[in-house]
Structure 1
């Protein structure tokens, strides 16, 4: 018998708080309903135990992603940013909103900082959602057009934003705004340290916020320090049509 079958949901989250995110993904109650076995919880939620167990076993699995980002082709780097970091943001925001709403409702009276954290995250979630769309629909496709123009040695029509540094400056400013909001959240949460005796949802909320900030830091690094400077250099090598 798989040891995970008999371990309770609550025990798993206590052992590794990141397990809460797996249970949340499968709509398994890990807080109030955490006293039952993972097998029983899967049965109640009508989900595959094997799928849940696989995700739990991969929680701390370190993947080799060939991370020599600086030598990647720009179109490949763009696809990586979208498929890994943009998707992560989109998948994490609903989960964090649910965590924040529940924790603020239950613990907000005793910990009023949770209400401010909830409001700040709602703000950064809205800003990032619009930000990702601008990158995916405007800036990133244009960078790919520049690559194609260089490869085919053809002229490129001027974009509405005139030069690529205009949207890049906007994206960098928005990165700074998002980073500042998350710095405020980190300060309010004592660097994502839950109080003594915090429930599993409280702990999961702070753990996920910490993970979210770390991912965003890496995400912004790839854009600000690798993609954007290379896009500016690429623009110097292409010809715009009159």
Structure 2
């Protein structure tokens, strides 16, 4: 079994051990857009106890393997298979969830906004994120993903350069989405509803937490696995 240490990056660890993302999220360690930094550097920057986190990480990894889980060798999966996985697990989720969750965010702002002023900004930030993500999904589905599948079938230098340019654009949009999610995390106090919150309030916060988790995994798969295949 591999023993993770401070020289490993969060991105590489999540690639091998997906459940590590839970520990990284708990400690606000970026494993998607900024996941290429050695953990030792991250621990120092964030004043985290690296020894404790690494102990918990390696212990949970061992238990995960003992429970019969198997690592996915992402490098052995074709680009087309990875794209189909992203579409099924992440694009489909966002296309269904973004408008539905938007209704909940609007509802709690309308009902509770006067008592809880932060809901106004939450409403604004969420709908900015929603608009950006919906446009982002279309760009990937209509342009980037078909180009990658075409390149897999028939490699071409001009096609490769187009893919690299689109990848860079998508990575910038991922950074923007991450910033919005960070703001939402702050506005909701880590998705912790206020005391006495109604059921709709609690459901909204729980779904926002799931949105953050799903989107971080989505960005990780694209930035650290799919796009990396086209870095020369």
> What TM-score results when the alignment is normalised by the length of structure 2?
0.67
Higher helix share: 2
Query: Within 2, Cα distance between the matches of 1:197 and 1:165?
Result: 50
Query: Within 1, Cα distance between the matches of 2:231 and 2:138?
Result: 21
1:30-49, aligned counterparts within 5 Å? none
- Identify if the C-alpha distance between structure 1 residues 115 and 164 changes in structure 2 by more than 3 Å, giving closer, same or farther: same
Figure out how many residues of one structure are paired with residues of the other and give that number.
164
Q: Please state how far the C-alpha of 1:65 moved relative to its aligned partner.
A: 9.4
Matched residue, 1:143? 148
Matched residue, 1:116? 121
Which of the pair has more CA radius of gyration?
A: 1
1:153-172, aligned counterparts within 5 Å? 156=156, 158-159=158-159, 162-172=161-171
Q: Please state how far the C-alpha of 1:71 moved relative to its aligned partner.
A: 2.6
Q: Please state how far the C-alpha of 1:164 moved relative to its aligned partner.
A: 2.0
Matched-pair contact (CA < 8 Å) for 1:143–1:231: no
Q: Does 1:184 align with 2:183?
A: yes
- Identify if the C-alpha distance between structure 1 residues 173 and 71 changes in structure 2 by more than 3 Å, giving closer, same or farther: same
- Identify if the C-alpha distance between structure 1 residues 109 and 65 changes in structure 2 by more than 3 Å, giving closer, same or farther: farther
Query: Within 2, Cα distance between the matches of 1:66 and 1:72?
Result: 12
- Identify if the C-alpha distance between structure 1 residues 186 and 97 changes in structure 2 by more than 3 Å, giving closer, same or farther: same
Query: Within 2, Cα distance between the matches of 1:80 and 1:172?
Result: 19
Matched-pair contact (CA < 8 Å) for 1:81–1:219: yes
Deviations 1:33-53 (A, max 9, x none): xxxxxxxxxxxxxxxxxxxxx
Matched residue, 1:23? none
Query: Within 2, Cα distance between the matches of 1:69 and 1:96?
Result: 31
Q: Please state how far the C-alpha of 1:148 moved relative to its aligned partner.
A: 0.3
Query: Within 2, Cα distance between the matches of 1:92 and 1:70?
Result: 30
Contiguous gaps of at least 5 residues in structure 2: 1-68
Deviations 1:1-59 (A, max 9, x none): xxxxxxxxxxxxxxxxxxxxxxxxxxxxxxxxxxxxxxxxxxxxxxxxxxxxxxxxxxx
- Identify if the C-alpha distance between structure 1 residues 165 and 157 changes in structure 2 by more than 3 Å, giving closer, same or farther: closer
Matched residue, 1:57? none
Matched residue, 1:87? 92
